[in-house]
Amino acid sequence: MVKSMTGYGRGYSELNNRAFTVELKSVNNRYLDINIRYPKHLMSLEDKIRKYISTYISRGKIDVYVSQDKFNKDDIEVKLDENIAKAYCDAFKAMSEKLSLENDITVSRLAKFQDVLSIEKKEEVTEEIWDVLKNALENALNMFIDMRQKEGIKLSEDLLIRCDKIIEFVDKIEERSDLVVEEYREKIYQRVSEFLKNVEVDEARLLNEVAFLQTSVT
């Protein structure tokens, strides 16, 4: 089956509060060239993603976009920057003393200030995470391959139509080939005769020259 070298696929998968979206785009290329863009915390899965794609696709320049849309609580870690939090507290205390104001700072208010708390995605990637991502990747690949096959069918039909047209033109050329040569010979003879109408010419010599030109052209 003829397949197009261009295609697009999108897959989504969600399980246990984890969700992934995978998009694939391709253009023609002699070899298989896979370019993957993914969140930093999924770096360890690059080789698995690449190998999984190569089981479905053998050639083409493939751009892959991976995003994690939902996280399980085990996938993230909330970190407290104690130095920043202490600096805020010291500043509030000084403000309270200098301006004679009540220091009503609470943990919940302090947590809202920039950089006090930060969310980090854990670098460790479990098999559960890979299973969800792989499912999204498989969905994207199925859509991608289906699109390439449909486009390939259209290309195949277009090529067959063009081949039929070429055959039709060749048949017409073959039908007129003898007539074209004769018509061309007659045109050359008439033009030379008109050009030399006031000059005596050896007609046999003229016919030889025309025949020579005819042979050169054909």
- We report the CATH number of the domain holding residue 68 as 3.30.230.10
| Residue 107 and residue 27 share a domain | no
In-domain check, residue 62: yes
pLDDT band at 52 (very low <50, low <70, confident <90, very high): very high
**In this predicted structure, what is the pLDDT of residue 196?**
66
| Residue 86 and residue 184 share a domain | no
pLDDT at 155 over 90: no
**In this predicted structure, what is the pLDDT of residue 110?**
84
| Residue 87 and residue 68 share a domain | no
pLDDT at 145 over 60: yes
For the residues 189-213, what does the mean pLDDT come to? 66
| Residue 33 and residue 54 share a domain | yes
In-domain check, residue 166: no
| Residue 67 and residue 131 share a domain | yes
Residue-range definition of the domain harbouring residue 212: 172-217
In-domain check, residue 1: no
For the residues 122-127, what does the mean pLDDT come to? 74
| Residue 195 and residue 108 share a domain | no
| Residue 182 and residue 102 share a domain | no
For residue 10, what are the contacts with CB-CB under 8 A and spacing of at least 6? 21, 22, 23, 24, 139, 140, 143
- Dihedral of the CA atoms 163, 166, 167, 169 (nearest 10)? 160
| Residue 140 and residue 68 share a domain | yes
pLDDT at 106 over 90: no
In-domain check, residue 39: yes
In-domain check, residue 131: yes
pLDDT band at 48 (very low <50, low <70, confident <90, very high): very high
Higher per-residue pLDDT: 2 or 145: 145
In-domain check, residue 202: yes
| Residue 58 and residue 17 share a domain | yes
In-domain check, residue 203: yes
pLDDT band at 217 (very low <50, low <70, confident <90, very high): low
Count of structural domains, the chain: 3
Return the structure tokens found at 123: 């670098």
118 HSE (CA, 13 A, CB side): 9
| Residue 136 and residue 45 share a domain | yes
Neighbours of 170 (CB within 10 A): 10
**DSSP element (H, E) containing 63:** strand 60-70
Mean pLDDT lowest for which of 9-13, 45-49, 120-124, 198-202?
198-202
In-domain check, residue 77: no
pLDDT at 74 over 80: no
pTM: 0.59
| Residue 135 and residue 59 share a domain | yes
Q: Which of 139, 128, 134 is nearest to 72 (CA)?
A: 128
**In this predicted structure, what is the pLDDT of residue 99?**
85
| Residue 144 and residue 47 share a domain | yes
Higher per-residue pLDDT: 159 or 193: 159
